[in-house]
Every structure is written in structure tokens, then in C-alpha cells.
Amino acid sequence: MNDSEMRHAIGIDFGGTSVKLALVNERGAILVRRKFNTSDAPGQQGWLARVEQEVASIRAEAAPDTQIVGAGVGVPGFVDFERGYIYELTNVPGWTGVHLGALLEERIGLRTRIDNDVNAMALGECTFGAGRTYQHAVFVTLGTGVGGGLLINNKLYRGAHWMAGEIGHVSIDMNGIPSPTGFGGVEQYVGNRRIVERMEKAIDSGRATILLDLVNGDRSRLSPKVLKEAADKGDVVALEILEYVTDCLATAFASITYILQPQAFIVGGGVAEDAKLLFQLLRKNVEKRLSAHFSKRLEIKPAELSNDAGVIGCATLALIE
């Protein structure tokens, strides 16, 4: 089947710093890309005008007979998927209570689906990426926080009010770190900033470690990536931190497995890329925390779509929902 016979959709990955657009075919391949800075198109009107313009430019570049069935938008915040309505966005001002679906359909003349960005990524990974062979899978993205999306019976499960999959708030310690979402939520232990704090604390303790050498003494460059690099070189301090971080994650994964028994966890986000050791430790710690009945029937795999997970996932919303 060549491209002119396939269905296509436009994915619009609405991030706090940039907005990425892509024309994606029904096999998950990207044909045309666009990108602009979120701050260059402020407010609803600015954003809508710019997206309309970029969509027109994508259409102009695409082959004339390209069949575009719709558009999907992934946003960083809470949405009502059914109504295409944004309750509010986490780090983008001016987007509280917006019927983005209707507004965008009017501008671009395409059937439009709106969802949470992590749900969109989960759908993309479970359709075209590491989760494509599973019916029941949990997608996890590691970054500033820990996000999640649930595939149940081969469909994205959004919960009673479109808020399911907030696995960063799963408690790993009922008396643990307090936050507005409870006590001991796993992202309070494994979010990027928490990892860097642990690295700094270890450095301050005076223990022998190459962590600071790897950034030429510049603490502002410490990151989970540096941690992985040090651990790969056998740095004992880095290994300890990675062990701890993966064990915290494993606690949440084990709880989720006892509840849902998915076939697989698909783990994405910067920390999880090129992270063989992280996956080894994660697997080991999950096995420690699950009975064999469960652990032998569970896979833990890295995501495959990397930086394109967002736009591909957004397009997938329009292709299959």
C-alpha cells in the first residue's frame, strides 16, 4: 500500500516550551514536520492562528491526494476527552476552560481529538511503538514527574472522569514525602529534580564519586543522564542512587501489577533512553516485589518512539479514536 491509499492525521504536540506538528500515516510514519516555540504564539488566539498556518503549510507540502482524516492534540493538563475541552494546563497560562476541539475544528476543518499529552504518547507507543503487540499495557514516562497511560483491552482507559493513569502519585510510603497529591507519591522520589538532589547530597557527603568530574565541577549540569553515565562506569555512589530510584519505581510497578496485571510496562522519557542498566535494576527490583505468578508473566520494555512519541501519539488519537 502506498501513501496515497493510506489514511493520515496531523498530530499536534502542545508542550510548555514548544509545539510540534507532524503529518503521520496509518503506519505511524512521519511525512512532514513543523515546530514553533509556545512563547511565540501566546494566548488562545495566537496559538490557534499559528496552528492554522502550520497546518496549511503541512497540507501544501504533502502530496495533493493525501487523505487527512483528522487532527489530534496532546496537551499538558487535564482535559475532558469526550467534549474536547481543556480544564486547565499545568504550565501554560490562558488555557483554563477552553473548548479547544471545537475551536480548532472550525479553524482547520478537520475532525479534532484532544487528550492529555501522556495519554497521547501511551496510545502512540501502544499502537506503533514498543506496546504494539499488547492488549493490556501500562505506559510510563519518566521526567520532571512520572506520567502514565493505561491500555486495557487494546483501548486507552481514561477512568471515570478522564484522569486515570496518574501513576506518579501512587504511594510507596504512607508516611513518606508530603505533596498536594498525598504522601509518598513515587514521583516525589524519582522525578528528575529528586534524582539530582540525591546526587548533590552524595557529593556533599564527601564520598568518592566521579559524578562531579563528569560535569567538570559544574553542579548545574548534574542530571539523571550524568547519573547513568557514572553508573555505567561502575561508580559506586551512582549505582547506589540508581538502585534506590529503580526500587522506588519497582514498588509502584508491583502495586500496579497486582491491581491490573498488564502484559507489559513500556517505559519512556529521557531517563529511560539508552538505559540498559536502569532496566536491569528495575527488572530485578520488580521481581523482588512480585510473586513469581505475576513477575514471570510481566514484561518491562523501553519505549521506542523517543522524541516522536508525542506527535505520533497525537496523530494516533485522530487515526483510531
User: Where along the sequence are the contacts to a copy of itself (CB under 8 A)?
Assistant: 78, 135-136, 148, 150, 152-153, 157-161, 163-175, 180-185, 247-248, 251, 254-256, 258-263, 288-291, 293-294, 297
Q: Residue 265 pairs with which residues in a beta bridge?
A: 138, 300
Closer by beta carbon to a copy of itself, 22 or else 266: 266
CB atoms within 10 A of CB 232: 16
Closer by beta carbon to a copy of itself, 160 or else 208: 160
Give me Rg for the CA atoms of the chain. Answer: 21
Instruction: Supply the minimum distance, in Å, between the C-beta of residue 1 and a copy of itself.
Output: 31
Closer by beta carbon to a copy of itself, 33 or else 136: 136
Alpha-carbon separation of residue 306 from 18, 94, 241, 245, 289 (angstroms): 16, 29, 24, 21, 28
Residue 118's nearest CA partner among 82, 144, 95 is 144
What is the rounded CA–CA span in Å between residue 73 and residue 315? Answer: 8
What is the rounded CA–CA span in Å between residue 275 and residue 75? Answer: 27
What's the DSSP call for residue 39?
G
| Spatial CB neighbours of 307, under 8 Å, sequence gap ≥ 6 | none
Instruction: Supply the minimum distance, in Å, between the C-beta of residue 118 and a copy of itself.
Output: 13
* Contact status, residue 281 vs residue 246, Cβ threshold 8 Å: yes
With residue 120 as reference, give the H or E element that holds it.
helix 117-128
Instruction: Supply the minimum distance, in Å, between the C-beta of residue 314 and a copy of itself.
Output: 22
Closer by beta carbon to a copy of itself, 39 or else 291: 291
Instruction: Supply the minimum distance, in Å, between the C-beta of residue 297 and a copy of itself.
Output: 5
Closer by beta carbon to a copy of itself, 238 or else 254: 254
Instruction: Supply the minimum distance, in Å, between the C-beta of residue 172 and a copy of itself.
Output: 5
Closer by beta carbon to a copy of itself, 21 or else 278: 278
What is the rounded CA–CA span in Å between residue 239 and residue 227? Answer: 8
What is the rounded CA–CA span in Å between residue 268 and residue 118? Answer: 10
Closer by beta carbon to a copy of itself, 183 or else 279: 183
- Put residue 274 in one of left, alpha, beta given phi > 0 → left and psi -120 to 50 → alpha: left
Closer by beta carbon to a copy of itself, 120 or else 298: 298
Closer by beta carbon to a copy of itself, 291 or else 307: 291
Instruction: Supply the minimum distance, in Å, between the C-beta of residue 139 and a copy of itself.
Output: 12
Instruction: Supply the minimum distance, in Å, between the C-beta of residue 122 and a copy of itself.
Output: 13
Rounded to a whole number of angstroms, the distance between the first and last alpha carbons of the chain is 22
Instruction: Supply the minimum distance, in Å, between the C-beta of residue 208 and a copy of itself.
Output: 27
Instruction: Supply the minimum distance, in Å, between the C-beta of residue 184 and a copy of itself.
Output: 8
Phi, psi of 3 (to 5 degrees): -60, -30
Grid coordinates representing 84 are: 474536547
